[in-house]
Protein backbone atom coordinates (compact mmCIF):
# COMPACT_ATOMS: atom_id res chain seq x y z
CA UNK A 1 0.00 0.00 0.00
CA UNK A 2 1.31 3.45 -0.96
CA UNK A 3 1.06 6.54 1.19
CA UNK A 4 -1.89 8.65 0.08
CA UNK A 5 -1.30 11.87 -1.84
CA UNK A 6 -2.95 14.69 0.09
CA UNK A 7 -4.07 17.82 -1.75
CA UNK A 8 -3.26 21.30 -0.36
CA UNK A 9 -5.23 22.28 2.72
CA UNK A 10 -6.85 25.24 0.98
CA UNK A 11 -8.63 23.11 -1.64
CA UNK A 12 -11.96 21.34 -1.31
CA UNK A 13 -10.32 17.97 -1.93
CA UNK A 14 -7.61 18.68 0.64
CA UNK A 15 -10.20 19.65 3.27
CA UNK A 16 -12.25 16.52 2.65
CA UNK A 17 -9.21 14.27 2.67
CA UNK A 18 -8.25 15.67 6.07
CA UNK A 19 -11.78 15.20 7.40
CA UNK A 20 -12.02 18.82 8.49
CA UNK A 21 -15.34 20.39 9.33
CA UNK A 22 -14.65 23.08 6.77
CA UNK A 23 -14.59 20.32 4.15
CA UNK A 24 -18.29 19.63 4.70
CA UNK A 25 -19.15 23.33 4.83
CA UNK A 26 -17.25 24.07 1.61
CA UNK A 27 -18.72 21.00 -0.14
CA UNK A 28 -22.25 22.14 0.67
CA UNK A 29 -21.48 25.58 -0.77
CA UNK A 30 -19.68 24.27 -3.90
CA UNK A 31 -21.35 23.16 -7.14
CA UNK A 32 -22.82 19.72 -6.47
CA UNK A 33 -20.92 17.85 -9.23
CA UNK A 34 -17.62 19.27 -7.97
CA UNK A 35 -18.43 18.32 -4.37
CA UNK A 36 -19.47 14.78 -5.31
CA UNK A 37 -16.34 14.31 -7.42
CA UNK A 38 -14.12 15.27 -4.47
CA UNK A 39 -16.16 13.08 -2.08
CA UNK A 40 -15.95 10.03 -4.34
CA UNK A 41 -12.21 10.55 -4.74
CA UNK A 42 -11.79 10.39 -0.96
CA UNK A 43 -13.96 7.31 -0.48
CA UNK A 44 -12.41 5.35 -3.33
CA UNK A 45 -8.80 6.36 -2.48
CA UNK A 46 -8.60 6.21 1.30
CA UNK A 47 -6.66 9.34 2.37
CA UNK A 48 -5.78 8.15 5.87
CA UNK A 49 -2.21 7.38 6.85
CA UNK A 50 -3.44 5.19 9.74
CA UNK A 51 -7.01 3.91 9.45
CA UNK A 52 -6.83 2.38 12.94
CA UNK A 53 -6.76 5.78 14.69
CA UNK A 54 -8.43 8.03 12.10
CA UNK A 55 -12.14 8.15 11.32
CA UNK A 56 -13.68 9.10 8.00
CA UNK A 57 -16.60 6.76 7.25
CA UNK A 58 -19.36 8.53 9.20
CA UNK A 59 -18.07 11.91 8.01
CA UNK A 60 -18.26 10.87 4.35
CA UNK A 61 -21.60 9.06 4.80
CA UNK A 62 -23.18 12.18 6.26
CA UNK A 63 -21.93 14.22 3.32
CA UNK A 64 -23.41 11.70 0.86
CA UNK A 65 -26.74 12.23 2.62
CA UNK A 66 -26.44 16.02 2.58
CA UNK A 67 -25.55 16.01 -1.14
CA UNK A 68 -28.07 13.28 -1.97
CA UNK A 69 -25.19 11.49 -3.64
CA UNK A 70 -25.59 8.33 -5.67
CA UNK A 71 -23.52 5.20 -5.20
CA UNK A 72 -22.66 4.35 -8.81
CA UNK A 73 -18.96 5.10 -8.43
CA UNK A 74 -18.69 3.10 -5.21
CA UNK A 75 -20.42 0.19 -6.94
CA UNK A 76 -18.01 0.36 -9.89
CA UNK A 77 -15.06 0.46 -7.48
CA UNK A 78 -16.22 -2.54 -5.47
CA UNK A 79 -17.01 -4.75 -8.45
CA UNK A 80 -14.15 -3.77 -10.73
CA UNK A 81 -11.65 -6.32 -12.05
CA UNK A 82 -9.12 -4.91 -9.59
CA UNK A 83 -11.12 -6.49 -6.77
CA UNK A 84 -10.01 -9.89 -8.03
CA UNK A 85 -6.38 -8.86 -8.46
CA UNK A 86 -5.97 -6.84 -5.24
CA UNK A 87 -7.50 -8.45 -2.15
CA UNK A 88 -5.99 -5.87 0.24
CA UNK A 89 -8.85 -4.78 2.51
CA UNK A 90 -7.48 -1.23 2.47
CA UNK A 91 -8.67 -0.86 -1.14
CA UNK A 92 -12.33 -1.32 -0.26
CA UNK A 93 -12.57 -0.99 3.53
CA UNK A 94 -13.47 2.70 3.66
CA UNK A 95 -16.10 2.36 0.93
CA UNK A 96 -17.69 -0.59 2.77
CA UNK A 97 -17.71 1.31 6.06
CA UNK A 98 -19.38 4.30 4.37
CA UNK A 99 -22.03 1.97 2.93
CA UNK A 100 -22.57 0.58 6.42
CA UNK A 101 -23.33 4.02 7.83
CA UNK A 102 -25.57 4.85 4.88
CA UNK A 103 -27.48 1.62 5.49
CA UNK A 104 -27.99 2.61 9.12
CA UNK A 105 -29.50 5.87 7.88
CA UNK A 106 -32.00 3.89 5.82
CA UNK A 107 -30.33 3.90 2.40
CA UNK A 108 -31.57 0.64 0.88
CA UNK A 109 -29.23 0.99 -2.09
CA UNK A 110 -26.28 0.88 0.31
CA UNK A 111 -27.68 -2.19 2.06
CA UNK A 112 -28.13 -3.92 -1.29
CA UNK A 113 -24.55 -3.17 -2.33
CA UNK A 114 -23.22 -4.62 0.93
CA UNK A 115 -25.23 -7.81 0.42
CA UNK A 116 -24.00 -8.19 -3.16
CA UNK A 117 -20.39 -7.61 -2.15
CA UNK A 118 -20.64 -10.09 0.73
CA UNK A 119 -21.62 -12.70 -1.87
CA UNK A 120 -19.07 -11.91 -4.57
CA UNK A 121 -16.40 -9.51 -3.28
CA UNK A 122 -12.84 -10.23 -2.19
CA UNK A 123 -13.19 -8.27 1.06
CA UNK A 124 -16.45 -10.04 1.86
CA UNK A 125 -15.65 -10.41 5.57
CA UNK A 126 -15.68 -6.64 6.07
CA UNK A 127 -19.01 -6.37 4.24
CA UNK A 128 -20.44 -9.14 6.41
CA UNK A 129 -19.33 -7.32 9.56
CA UNK A 130 -21.11 -4.18 8.37
CA UNK A 131 -24.24 -6.20 7.67
CA UNK A 132 -24.03 -7.88 11.06
CA UNK A 133 -24.56 -4.46 12.63
CA UNK A 134 -27.22 -3.16 10.22
CA UNK A 135 -29.09 -5.95 8.42
CA UNK A 136 -32.11 -7.84 9.75
CA UNK A 137 -32.16 -11.56 10.48
CA UNK A 138 -33.87 -12.43 7.21
CA UNK A 139 -31.27 -10.58 5.16
CA UNK A 140 -28.40 -12.29 6.95
CA UNK A 141 -29.97 -15.75 6.65
CA UNK A 142 -30.21 -15.23 2.91
CA UNK A 143 -26.41 -14.90 2.74
CA UNK A 144 -25.65 -18.20 4.47
CA UNK A 145 -25.39 -20.44 1.42
CA UNK A 146 -23.34 -18.12 -0.84
CA UNK A 147 -20.91 -17.31 1.96
CA UNK A 148 -20.44 -20.94 2.94
CA UNK A 149 -19.91 -21.80 -0.72
CA UNK A 150 -16.62 -19.91 -0.46
CA UNK A 151 -15.30 -22.80 1.63
CA UNK A 152 -15.11 -26.12 -0.25
CA UNK A 153 -16.25 -29.23 1.58
CA UNK A 154 -12.72 -30.56 1.97
CA UNK A 155 -10.49 -30.87 5.04
CA UNK A 156 -8.68 -27.70 3.97
CA UNK A 157 -11.92 -25.81 3.33
CA UNK A 158 -13.39 -26.93 6.65
CA UNK A 159 -10.24 -25.84 8.47
CA UNK A 160 -10.39 -22.43 6.79
CA UNK A 161 -14.06 -22.09 7.70
CA UNK A 162 -13.33 -22.98 11.33
CA UNK A 163 -10.61 -20.34 11.50
CA UNK A 164 -12.92 -17.75 9.90
CA UNK A 165 -15.73 -18.47 12.36
CA UNK A 166 -13.33 -18.46 15.31
CA UNK A 167 -11.80 -15.10 14.36
CA UNK A 168 -14.99 -13.36 13.16
CA UNK A 169 -15.11 -9.74 14.35
CA UNK A 170 -18.92 -9.75 14.42
CA UNK A 171 -20.24 -13.24 15.33
CA UNK A 172 -23.96 -12.50 14.81
CA UNK A 173 -24.26 -13.97 11.27
CA UNK A 174 -22.51 -17.19 12.27
CA UNK A 175 -24.74 -17.60 15.32
CA UNK A 176 -27.81 -17.15 13.14
CA UNK A 177 -26.53 -19.63 10.60
CA UNK A 178 -25.73 -22.16 13.31
CA UNK A 179 -29.47 -22.27 14.10
CA UNK A 180 -30.33 -23.18 10.49
CA UNK A 181 -32.02 -26.60 10.21
CA UNK A 182 -30.26 -27.48 6.93
CA UNK A 183 -27.24 -29.74 7.29
CA UNK A 184 -25.35 -27.81 4.61
CA UNK A 185 -25.71 -24.64 6.69
CA UNK A 186 -26.48 -25.16 10.37
CA UNK A 187 -24.62 -28.43 10.86
CA UNK A 188 -21.58 -27.17 9.00
CA UNK A 189 -21.38 -23.89 10.95
CA UNK A 190 -21.83 -25.71 14.26
CA UNK A 191 -19.01 -28.08 13.34
CA UNK A 192 -16.83 -25.08 12.47
CA UNK A 193 -17.65 -23.45 15.82
CA UNK A 194 -16.72 -26.63 17.68
CA UNK A 195 -13.48 -27.01 15.71
CA UNK A 196 -12.54 -23.40 16.43
CA UNK A 197 -13.19 -23.84 20.15
CA UNK A 198 -11.16 -27.06 20.19
CA UNK A 199 -8.27 -25.34 18.39
CA UNK A 200 -8.30 -22.52 20.96
CA UNK A 201 -8.30 -25.08 23.79
CA UNK A 202 -5.37 -26.94 22.24
CA UNK A 203 -3.34 -23.76 21.96
CA UNK A 204 -3.98 -23.06 25.64
CA UNK A 205 -2.65 -26.51 26.47
CA UNK A 206 0.55 -25.87 24.49
CA UNK A 207 1.80 -22.54 25.81
CA UNK A 208 5.23 -21.41 24.72
CA UNK A 209 7.56 -19.30 26.75
CA UNK A 210 8.51 -19.08 30.44
CA UNK A 211 7.88 -21.89 32.88
CA UNK A 212 7.93 -21.94 36.69
CA UNK A 213 11.44 -22.29 37.98
CA UNK A 214 13.14 -20.40 35.18
CA UNK A 215 16.33 -18.58 36.07
CA UNK A 216 17.31 -15.04 35.08
CA UNK A 217 19.66 -16.46 32.45
CA UNK A 218 16.87 -18.62 31.02
CA UNK A 219 14.73 -15.51 30.57
CA UNK A 220 17.63 -13.74 28.84
CA UNK A 221 18.11 -16.73 26.52
CA UNK A 222 14.38 -16.75 25.70
CA UNK A 223 14.45 -13.03 24.86
CA UNK A 224 17.49 -13.52 22.62
CA UNK A 225 15.93 -16.49 20.83
CA UNK A 226 12.84 -14.42 20.16
CA UNK A 227 14.90 -11.56 18.73
CA UNK A 228 16.76 -13.92 16.41
CA UNK A 229 13.52 -15.27 14.94
CA UNK A 230 12.02 -11.78 14.57
CA UNK A 231 9.77 -11.73 17.65
CA UNK A 232 10.12 -8.82 20.07
CA UNK A 233 9.85 -10.34 23.56
CA UNK A 234 11.37 -7.40 25.41
CA UNK A 235 8.38 -6.48 27.55
CA UNK A 236 7.27 -10.08 28.32
CA UNK A 237 10.84 -10.93 29.24
CA UNK A 238 11.06 -7.87 31.51
CA UNK A 239 7.89 -9.01 33.28
CA UNK A 240 9.35 -12.50 33.65
CA UNK A 241 12.45 -11.02 35.23
CA UNK A 242 10.18 -9.29 37.72
CA UNK A 243 8.81 -12.72 38.68
CA UNK A 244 12.04 -14.73 38.88
CA UNK A 245 14.75 -12.23 39.83
CA UNK A 246 15.88 -11.84 43.44
CA UNK A 247 18.15 -9.33 45.17
CA UNK A 248 21.20 -11.45 44.36
CA UNK A 249 20.43 -11.21 40.63
CA UNK A 250 20.50 -7.42 40.43
CA UNK A 251 24.20 -7.13 39.49
CA UNK A 252 23.76 -9.78 36.80
CA UNK A 253 20.87 -7.85 35.30
CA UNK A 254 22.79 -4.56 35.42
CA UNK A 255 25.71 -6.18 33.63
CA UNK A 256 23.34 -7.57 30.97
CA UNK A 257 21.93 -4.07 30.47
CA UNK A 258 25.47 -2.74 30.06
CA UNK A 259 27.02 -5.32 27.75
CA UNK A 260 24.73 -8.33 27.21
CA UNK A 261 23.39 -9.76 23.99
CA UNK A 262 20.80 -7.54 22.34
CA UNK A 263 17.74 -9.49 23.52
CA UNK A 264 19.01 -9.72 27.08
CA UNK A 265 20.11 -6.10 27.08
CA UNK A 266 16.69 -4.84 25.97
CA UNK A 267 14.87 -6.93 28.58
CA UNK A 268 17.27 -5.86 31.33
CA UNK A 269 16.86 -2.17 30.51
CA UNK A 270 13.09 -2.42 30.74
CA UNK A 271 13.26 -4.42 33.95
CA UNK A 272 15.57 -1.88 35.59
CA UNK A 273 13.28 0.91 34.40
CA UNK A 274 10.23 -0.70 35.96
CA UNK A 275 12.09 -1.33 39.22
CA UNK A 276 13.41 2.29 39.21
CA UNK A 277 17.02 1.29 39.62
CA UNK A 278 19.10 4.47 40.10
CA UNK A 279 21.67 3.25 37.53
CA UNK A 280 19.23 2.80 34.68
CA UNK A 281 19.38 6.35 33.30
CA UNK A 282 23.13 6.10 32.77
CA UNK A 283 22.64 2.68 31.18
CA UNK A 284 19.99 4.11 28.84
CA UNK A 285 22.30 6.92 27.76
CA UNK A 286 25.12 4.45 27.12
CA UNK A 287 22.82 2.15 25.13
CA UNK A 288 21.69 4.98 22.88
CA UNK A 289 25.26 6.13 22.31
CA UNK A 290 26.97 2.79 21.73
CA UNK A 291 24.37 0.04 21.39
CA UNK A 292 22.89 -1.49 18.27
CA UNK A 293 19.84 0.08 16.68
CA UNK A 294 17.63 -2.51 18.38
CA UNK A 295 19.13 -1.76 21.79
CA UNK A 296 19.00 2.00 21.24
CA UNK A 297 15.32 1.86 20.34
CA UNK A 298 14.59 -0.29 23.39
CA UNK A 299 16.49 2.14 25.61
CA UNK A 300 14.51 5.11 24.29
CA UNK A 301 11.26 3.19 24.78
CA UNK A 302 12.27 2.30 28.32
CA UNK A 303 12.99 5.96 29.10
CA UNK A 304 9.60 7.02 27.70
CA UNK A 305 7.92 4.64 30.16
CA UNK A 306 9.62 6.22 33.18
CA UNK A 307 7.35 8.44 35.26
CA UNK A 308 9.43 9.45 38.29
CA UNK A 309 10.95 12.87 38.99
CA UNK A 310 14.42 11.55 38.17
CA UNK A 311 13.33 10.93 34.57
CA UNK A 312 11.91 14.43 34.24
CA UNK A 313 15.08 15.93 35.69
CA UNK A 314 17.27 13.97 33.26
CA UNK A 315 14.97 14.93 30.37
CA UNK A 316 15.80 18.59 30.98
CA UNK A 317 19.41 17.78 30.22
CA UNK A 318 18.69 15.54 27.23
CA UNK A 319 16.03 17.64 25.49
CA UNK A 320 18.61 19.45 23.33
CA UNK A 321 20.12 16.22 21.97
CA UNK A 322 19.62 15.89 18.18
CA UNK A 323 18.69 12.20 18.36
CA UNK A 324 15.85 9.92 19.38
CA UNK A 325 16.70 10.29 23.05
CA UNK A 326 16.38 14.07 22.75
CA UNK A 327 12.99 13.64 21.10
CA UNK A 328 11.91 11.26 23.86
CA UNK A 329 13.10 13.76 26.47
CA UNK A 330 10.91 16.44 24.89
CA UNK A 331 7.96 14.05 25.04
CA UNK A 332 8.63 13.28 28.71
CA UNK A 333 8.70 17.00 29.56
CA UNK A 334 5.51 17.56 27.61
CA UNK A 335 3.70 14.75 29.44
CA UNK A 336 5.18 15.06 32.92
CA UNK A 337 7.08 18.35 33.09
CA UNK A 338 6.24 21.36 35.23
CA UNK A 339 5.32 24.94 34.40
CA UNK A 340 8.99 25.93 34.30
CA UNK A 341 9.48 23.46 31.42
CA UNK A 342 7.05 25.31 29.14
CA UNK A 343 9.77 27.04 27.12
CA UNK A 344 11.59 23.75 26.53
CA UNK A 345 8.37 22.12 25.30
CA UNK A 346 7.53 25.12 23.12
CA UNK A 347 11.02 25.10 21.60
CA UNK A 348 10.77 21.38 20.85
CA UNK A 349 7.32 21.87 19.30
CA UNK A 350 8.51 24.65 16.99
CA UNK A 351 11.65 22.76 15.99
CA UNK A 352 9.70 19.57 15.26
CA UNK A 353 7.26 21.40 12.98
CA UNK A 354 10.13 23.24 11.28
CA UNK A 355 12.29 20.19 10.66
CA UNK A 356 9.79 17.33 10.26
CA UNK A 357 6.58 18.96 9.10
CA UNK A 358 2.99 18.87 10.42
CA UNK A 359 2.62 15.08 10.57
CA UNK A 360 5.62 14.03 12.67
CA UNK A 361 4.79 11.36 15.31
CA UNK A 362 6.58 13.37 18.03
CA UNK A 363 4.04 16.15 17.64
CA UNK A 364 1.38 14.20 19.52
CA UNK A 365 2.94 14.43 23.00
CA UNK A 366 4.25 17.94 22.30
CA UNK A 367 0.80 19.20 21.30
CA UNK A 368 -0.72 17.54 24.36
CA UNK A 369 1.98 19.14 26.48
CA UNK A 370 1.30 22.58 25.07
CA UNK A 371 -2.31 22.23 26.14
CA UNK A 372 -1.52 20.66 29.51
CA UNK A 373 0.94 23.41 30.41
CA UNK A 374 -1.29 26.15 28.94
CA UNK A 375 1.43 27.58 26.72
CA UNK A 376 -0.31 30.59 25.19
CA UNK A 377 2.66 31.37 22.93
CA UNK A 378 2.11 28.00 21.24
CA UNK A 379 -1.25 29.07 19.75
CA UNK A 380 0.17 30.27 16.38
CA UNK A 381 2.03 27.03 15.70
CA UNK A 382 -0.96 25.01 16.92
CA UNK A 383 -3.23 26.86 14.49
CA UNK A 384 -0.76 26.05 11.71
CA UNK A 385 -0.81 22.37 12.68
CA UNK A 386 -4.61 22.35 12.80
CA UNK A 387 -4.81 23.61 9.22
CA UNK A 388 -2.01 21.59 7.67
CA UNK A 389 -1.80 18.16 9.29
CA UNK A 390 -3.19 15.28 7.26
CA UNK A 391 -3.88 13.31 10.46
CA UNK A 392 -7.35 13.87 11.85
CA UNK A 393 -6.22 12.25 15.11
CA UNK A 394 -3.43 14.83 15.52
CA UNK A 395 -5.84 17.61 14.55
CA UNK A 396 -8.14 16.50 17.36
CA UNK A 397 -5.30 16.72 19.85
CA UNK A 398 -4.48 20.14 18.46
CA UNK A 399 -8.08 21.29 18.92
CA UNK A 400 -7.95 20.30 22.59
CA UNK A 401 -4.66 22.17 23.00
CA UNK A 402 -6.10 25.25 21.28
CA UNK A 403 -9.07 25.18 23.65
CA UNK A 404 -6.58 25.60 26.50
CA UNK A 405 -4.27 28.15 24.85
CA UNK A 406 -6.13 30.20 22.23
CA UNK A 407 -8.82 32.73 23.31
CA UNK A 408 -10.13 32.82 19.72
CA UNK A 409 -10.78 29.07 19.56
CA UNK A 410 -14.43 29.20 20.69
CA UNK A 411 -15.44 31.61 17.95
CA UNK A 412 -13.11 30.16 15.31
CA UNK A 413 -11.98 26.58 14.88
CA UNK A 414 -14.42 25.26 17.50
CA UNK A 415 -17.35 26.08 15.21
CA UNK A 416 -15.77 24.18 12.32
CA UNK A 417 -14.98 21.26 14.62
CA UNK A 418 -18.69 20.50 15.02
CA UNK A 419 -18.50 18.98 11.51
CA UNK A 420 -15.13 17.24 12.04
CA UNK A 421 -14.66 13.56 11.22
CA UNK A 422 -13.37 12.68 14.71
CA UNK A 423 -15.92 12.25 17.47
CA UNK A 424 -13.44 13.44 20.10
CA UNK A 425 -12.98 16.66 18.12
CA UNK A 426 -16.75 17.14 17.85
CA UNK A 427 -16.96 16.60 21.60
CA UNK A 428 -14.47 19.42 22.23
CA UNK A 429 -16.44 21.63 19.86
CA UNK A 430 -19.71 20.86 21.65
CA UNK A 431 -18.10 22.09 24.86
CA UNK A 432 -16.55 25.31 23.52
CA UNK A 433 -18.21 26.55 20.29
CA UNK A 434 -19.84 29.95 20.81
CA UNK A 435 -23.60 29.84 20.52
CA UNK A 436 -23.80 33.31 18.99
CA UNK A 437 -22.95 31.71 15.64
CA UNK A 438 -26.28 30.71 14.13
CA UNK A 439 -24.80 27.54 12.67
CA UNK A 440 -23.81 26.23 16.10
CA UNK A 441 -27.30 25.82 17.56
CA UNK A 442 -28.58 24.05 14.45
CA UNK A 443 -25.59 21.71 14.35
CA UNK A 444 -25.86 20.88 18.05
CA UNK A 445 -29.52 20.08 17.55
CA UNK A 446 -28.74 17.78 14.66
CA UNK A 447 -25.96 15.95 16.50
CA UNK A 448 -28.12 15.54 19.59
CA UNK A 449 -30.86 13.90 17.47
CA UNK A 450 -28.60 11.73 15.30
CA UNK A 451 -28.67 8.06 16.41
CA UNK A 452 -25.32 7.50 14.69
CA UNK A 453 -23.58 10.15 16.79
CA UNK A 454 -21.27 8.98 19.57
CA UNK A 455 -22.66 9.02 23.11
CA UNK A 456 -19.79 11.18 24.36
CA UNK A 457 -20.65 13.94 21.89
CA UNK A 458 -24.31 13.86 22.80
CA UNK A 459 -23.44 13.88 26.50
CA UNK A 460 -21.29 16.98 25.98
CA UNK A 461 -24.24 18.68 24.26
CA UNK A 462 -26.66 17.71 27.01
CA UNK A 463 -24.24 18.75 29.75
CA UNK A 464 -23.86 22.15 28.16
CA UNK A 465 -27.44 22.80 27.08
CA UNK A 466 -29.44 20.70 29.52
CA UNK A 467 -31.87 17.83 28.87
CA UNK A 468 -33.77 19.90 26.27
CA UNK A 469 -30.74 20.18 23.93
CA UNK A 470 -32.67 18.79 20.92
CA UNK A 471 -35.07 21.70 21.29
CA UNK A 472 -32.35 24.38 21.10
131 shares its domain with 160: no
Contact 225, 236 (CB under 8 A): no
What is the domain range of residue 50?
1-135
Mapped to the 3 state alphabet, what secondary structure does 239-291 carry? HHHHHHCCHHHHHHHHHHHHHCCHHHHHHHHHHHHHCCCCCHHHHHHHHHHHC
Phi-psi category of residue 173: left, alpha or beta, with phi > 0 → left and psi -120 to 50 → alpha = alpha
167 shares its domain with 121: no
48 occurs within a structural domain:
yes
10 shares its domain with 68: yes
Angle at 89 between CA 84 and CA 94, to 5 degrees: 115
177 shares its domain with 125: no
Domain boundary among the residues 104, 135, 166 is at 135
472 occurs within a structural domain:
no
94 shares its domain with 128: yes
90 shares its domain with 128: yes
The tally of domains found in the chain comes to 2
Q: How far apart are CA 252 and CA 171, in angstroms?
A: 49
117 occurs within a structural domain:
yes
Q: How far apart are CA 461 and CA 446, in angstroms?
A: 11
Q: Which residues contact 413 (CB under 8 A, 6 or more apart)?
A: 383, 386, 399, 402
What is the residue-level pLDDT of the chain in tens, covering all 472 positions? 457 899 999 999 999 999 999 999 999 999 999 999 999 999 999 999 988 899 999 999 999 999 999 999 999 999 999 988 887 888 999 999 999 999 999 999 999 999 999 999 999 999 999 999 999 999 999 999 999 999 999 999 989 999 999 888 999 999 999 999 988 888 999 988 888 665 554 554 455 555 556 789 999 999 999 899 888 889 999 999 988 888 889 999 999 999 999 999 999 999 999 999 999 999 999 999 887 999 999 999 999 999 889 999 999 999 999 999 999 999 999 999 999 999 999 999 999 999 999 999 999 999 999 999 999 999 999 999 999 999 999 999 999 999 999 999 999 999 999 999 999 999 999 999 999 888 999 999 999 999 999 999 999 999 987 765 444 4
Amino acid sequence: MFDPVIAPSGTLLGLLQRGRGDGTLHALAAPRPEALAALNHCVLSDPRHDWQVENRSLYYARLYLDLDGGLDEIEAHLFSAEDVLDADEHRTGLALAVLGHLASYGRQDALGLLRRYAVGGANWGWALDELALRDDDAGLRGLAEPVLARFPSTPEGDAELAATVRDAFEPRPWRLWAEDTRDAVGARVRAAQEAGSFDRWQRQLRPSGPRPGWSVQAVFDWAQEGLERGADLTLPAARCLGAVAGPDDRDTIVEAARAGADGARCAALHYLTESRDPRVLDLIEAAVGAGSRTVAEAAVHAFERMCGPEAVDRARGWVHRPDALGAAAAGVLACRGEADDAQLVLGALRECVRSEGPDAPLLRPLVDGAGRLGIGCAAPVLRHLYRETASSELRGRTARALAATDPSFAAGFAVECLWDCEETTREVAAQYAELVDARVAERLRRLADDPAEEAEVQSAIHNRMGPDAPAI
